Structure 1
């Protein structure tokens, strides 16, 4: 069927689209999985198929497994993709620990063309992160879709990759202001590198949206229908106010936001549209402000009158003055650049601070902005920006050792000086977080001047871990571990325990195995005098057996204990086999022996870890 590119309107029949939808690999596999689920399958406490059922499902779908005894269905990526797709389509419904085929499965098989297309659209939108509970939109997939749409439905893979990379890294086209160069650049760096064009097309092809013909990507009939639905028919109404438009598109990649805003922008003269958007940008903050101003820039030079109206504003007017300077070919004022930089950095801090310690955030900002920050910092206090004070406190901190662009970890990394005598001993409690019935903890006596690398070894041995995963200590916003450019940890060997714990009650966090997420709380309970003849680590008390490695963290460990305690559980025998146990009685979550822990600690050698008794 033809495609009227000038109108952006596919003319495929509903029957043709429904047939294509039923044939797309992702939903065909999801439907097959749902038919197998049938009237009901029991699920684990984490809401996925039990291991034995997961193996059966993989056989059904032709998924090869490295082992016939997987620990969890969550470890099988291809199966989980099919499971998520089935749930998004409504082919599978979950209730009270059981999954059953959903009503949408019958619609998919016997419904009208319009009903089938509605199921496909809902599922695809959710899997692309545009609906439901899927989370943030998939920037690379959506940008690839937008490029194909803008290019009339066909493009070479090389051009597709270049366009996507340009769109994800360039910020607002033609804009040199710090709010674009800092905010957009850093957020996209954190999101990860752009996938190759071929990989994006393959992902789109799973949902029947695109096809690959040699080195050329092409929108399918479904892809043309979907892009028209997204970028034209599903765009914010032309009569909506600017605030509603901005709220609707602020979370989307720039290219997608611009496409969806076209009907709204086309319904207004450039100066009128820009005036509404700039006013909306002044009244909001964060990413919505940046989105509003990016759309205002889409209005082009004919919107100059709107920008001039804001040029007299002391703070927010910096955006207008920078825009006007660009039109005149002159250099923007440094104070204006500093104000917009502060605005962008405040957005970044508000976005990233919940997930990053201040020192790591500072390192990322320095790595991204580098020389620009050096110019901005002296001007920051005089900008009058509401966030200037908190940014000034954050930004002077040098990049954390080990972060990209930061200095390599140094043995003399600056840390607080020791506040106790080097020959003192500490009584510390190491407690495993979120593990109960029974809790798991150890009370240790250790030299106060242990470095954190040695403390890591003591904790591993006393707890009963096998030291086969990554770890890190954290205190005061800084992280210490094995120095590595990719991990961003300061060198744990350069820091003494007494430099981080100086007073009774002080605490230190210790994380082990980032996959399972075992978090430990270290608390200084007592500062002890040195004892003649005792120079190493001693375990004086404790409770609870150490969980098995790779059992899924606190939640997985809770599930493991429940399975072992229930001989009727479908996973009971498989779990015994995975643990290498003959009977459930061989595993005692309460088991702990200070003598055994000290016997293992006796084997730990080092300049200050010789156990003398």
Structure 2
């Protein structure tokens, strides 16, 4: 189905969760009549009862929809505090936000339906690890598949996982002692676990089970295809970078052309949960390397809307503010060439120094000279005055490097004088 139809299906599947999330946002947020005294949007027993009464549901239904909303990212819970997720804010205008929410729920299928209480945790973990192959088989089959056939595939995959951990010995083994006929087949416990997995996947809308057969829904088939595509994208990463921490990956991309760098960012992101990837990129941006800072926000542009709450949250950090404001302006629809208009004069000057530091550390002298053209100030004296006032910690190094690189002796002398004045605290 086309993306718009898939989004419609996802909205339908998540509509109950979205309804409870909206109710919580309108009734429990700070400053609202229904807010708890401490302003926390938690779903207490009393809150669940109240929601059930106002929405015409049972408390159990409210809790189930709340859990779905959390798994889909419609609600974000930080400790005792709940707040609307960006997907809920974008629900009516952004099909991709809805589809991302459904994929997040799909990824969490093993949490959406209680596992059999009597099964060992290790066996459950093996089935969860083996299910991607089962789902891939269902996707390739493009139709109903007998559950018995899926059980055979699951048993094979679990055996492979155990072999990879060397739980099954290699080489000739002594003949096992005869066992009583009543001892069950060691693979028999996988049948109820497969039943649990199929019902859990059906609960999130990924497949249907009927008449001893399982069939992926259009949404389920699309999600599995997306996962397979992500694996292929990740496999195209240049050797080593995909396994690196964010800062090392960004440094590895520093010499790549823009399109190649974006492909590398996509591969690195495809191999990680989006939340932890955004956190890691922002942490890399806080470092001393200005080039890494700029590249981190380029990678965050590839992330897109899911990064918006985190980028907005760092907009008050002086080192990140200009980058964050430009990112948010572009995210809100500003043309990249005009986005700089959201910055104050001081913020633009700070960004000019930070970018100049990146050029000085990693670029060539002519690039630093050309960087003068990007300053908002009309003259070099005006630029020097404002650069000295902005207080960037790399100001002296940038001015010294610029003075050494500039071919005009008179201008170079003025820049050196400015560097000396910043260094000594003079005027």
The TM-score by the shorter chain falls in which range? Answer: 0.3 to 0.5
Is the helix fraction higher in 1 or 2?
2
TM-score by length of 2: 0.39
The structure whose Rg is larger is: 1
